[in-house]
Amino acid sequence: MVDKKSLEKKYSIGVDLGGTNIVNTVVNYQGKIVSRLKVPTLAERGKESTIKRIVETIHENIVQSTIASGDIIGIGIGAPGPLDVKKGIINFAPNLPGWRDVPLRKILEDEFNMKIVLENDANAAAWGERCFGAGQGVNNLVCFTLGTGIGGGIIINGKIYHGNNYGAAELGHMTVNKDGPRCNCGNYGCLESYSSATGIKNRIKNRIKEGIKSEFLDFDEDKLFESLRLKSIFEVARKGDRLTKDIVEEAISYLGIAIANIANILNPEMVVLVGGITNEGNKLLIPLRKEVKKRALYSNYKSLKIVIGKLAGNAGVLGAAALLWISTNCSC
């Protein structure tokens, strides 16, 4: 058994492997980032090239951190799924072309000769908030990652809940409307189609096609995805803009429905929200809590804290780094 005193002087590395960027951090035992590097994934160049970039970035960051390799206990990787945590294999990643059954853990073990832990990226974000963010000391929590898509992480009795074959917590693919729009997963009416950034933008695009005009937004329809920001969408919706108001209200309402379902199924102590949309703060939380109150069993609602994560864009990398402490005497 490693004793806690000596661990407190050690570091771990957290990596967030995304379709757009690879973020890499060297983190101390208290969750302080001592060195951070972010490089583009360049996923279109193929699997081998991306793996090479992961390896090079980790080496570069160790040098940049000036921490001795001997003081680093291992590397945690948060990666898009589906993946096999036990075998350390990424089965498939929609945003990483060519990635099929990649034994990433073995590849990195051979390169770095350290302990390597692989985890789903949304689970890593949930674990980050639980160890170092809004959910410190909370043993039953559910985290929604609200970004381009919607992911989730479920922590039960202080442990990440993976399900039968690592498919648990796909919160974005919860059906919230049987007649809703088609989702990338093939289903109709998933939460992701309403409350993710892509879902919100797609719905705005459809309304424009129906001939509805915005009273405030000025953008080029062809470049809608690039030019439109969530912040401005929410701002004009609040001003009463015809095009965006219903869509924003529905995005919040469907998210509330999903949280109410979770509250009734799992009765967690806390729901933590992370991702771009959470920049709205109370403008998101107040109507959201109202929706959950309306739908969840009252005792489940009353005991539930719905909060915004405290780690901003670093929940995933901090969680990945904290995975290394799980099997130790860590207080988290």
Binding residues for Zn ion, rule: CB under 5 A, are 173, 183, 185, 187, 190
CB atoms within 10 A of CB 162: 17
> Residue 302's closest CA among 291, 293, 311, 315?
293
Q: Which is nearer to Zn ion, 10 or 173 (CB)?
A: 173
Least distance to Zn ion, CB of residue 258, Å: 12
CB atoms within 10 A of CB 32: 12
By the 10 Å C-beta count (0-12 exposed, 13-18 middle, 19+ buried), 138 is classed as middle
Least distance to Zn ion, CB of residue 193, Å: 7
Least distance to Zn ion, CB of residue 143, Å: 18
Q: Which is nearer to Zn ion, 53 or 173 (CB)?
A: 173
Q: Which is nearer to Zn ion, 146 or 323 (CB)?
A: 146
Q: Which is nearer to Zn ion, 135 or 189 (CB)?
A: 189
Torsion of CA 150, 309, 276, 96, to 10 degrees: -50
Least distance to Zn ion, CB of residue 5, Å: 47
Q: Which two tokens stand for residue 95?
A: 């945003």
> Residue 142's closest CA among 281, 261, 320?
261
Q: Which is nearer to Zn ion, 146 or 304 (CB)?
A: 146
Q: Which two tokens stand for residue 274?
A: 């992370």
Q: What are phi and psi of 11, to 5 degrees?
A: -130, 160
Least distance to Zn ion, CB of residue 116, Å: 30
Q: Are strands 100-102 and 141-146 parallel, antiparallel or unpaired?
A: unpaired
> Residue 198's closest CA among 151, 241, 150?
150
Which H/E stretch holds residue 4? helix 4-7
Least distance to Zn ion, CB of residue 20, Å: 21
Q: Which is nearer to Zn ion, 185 or 326 (CB)?
A: 185
Q: How far is CA 83 from the centre of its chain?
A: 15
What does the alpha-carbon distance between residue 287 and residue 291 come to, in Å, rounded to a whole number?
6
Least distance to Zn ion, CB of residue 185, Å: 3
Find where tokens 């390597």 sit. Answer: 116
Q: Which is nearer to Zn ion, 15 or 183 (CB)?
A: 183
